[in-house]
Structure 1
Amino acid sequence: MNVDEFGLILFVERFEQCVSFYQNLLQLPVRRSQDMLVCFDLSIGYLMVEKGGVAQTREKTRAQNPAVLRFDVEDLSKEVHNLKERGIHFLQERCVFEWGKIAVFLDPDGNRIELGEIHTTSASYRT
């Protein structure tokens, strides 16, 4: 399969709040905006936020949403600090594993988002 780029579509109920969250708090650039969806540019593809999901007031279970958005960063502490300054509330600011570290927060619909600082033993490490 010859793939031009990778995209992820996230269906949300609280559309306006989620668009604002990804655009203003996470500062993802908007590629394209339409009535029912907003597509955000990522260095590795895109994240499309689209109407039609179901929101939760707390983190969704894996049965409700079996996917996790993971944004790998170079310096986890620095990114956590920057996002906290913009108003992001973290469920966990630093979880240490043998393969790296993560921080966990939620979008307005209760979708789990992780920041990851990985190293060579991580399954997602690019060799």
Structure 2
Amino acid sequence: MASNFEKLLLESEQKFIQALIDIDYKKLVALTHPKAIFVTESAETFSGIISLHTHYASIIKIQSIELLDRKVNFHDNYAIVSSIEKRLGLLNNIPVQSEYAITRVWKCLPKKCIVISGCIVNRKNTRN
């Protein structure tokens, strides 16, 4: 049986993924530490969801995310989520389908979890 900490984390992870698909900026901000560090597949580093969102909002449109595998490691009130996701969407209005290795580090507070860092690596990429 999952602990409350694990349930809270998995709910937060699902909300974050849905916010990416919906391009829901308010939810992304609510689920992310203001100074979170993100590393993109092209090794660009961004501090905060605002800079990442500003850079990518007009370039990438995610239509669906299929979770292929996920491992969660807990350390005190932190969780490291490593997953393999299949993403379908548009990159500069060109259809793409890719498999990504995603790592997100979450800090869990009493009533919510927030992303403090994330990294994405493209495993497979195909144009439709």
TM-score, length of structure 1 as denominator length? 0.26
Greater share of helix: 2
TM-score, length of structure 2 as denominator length? 0.26
Greater share of strand: 2
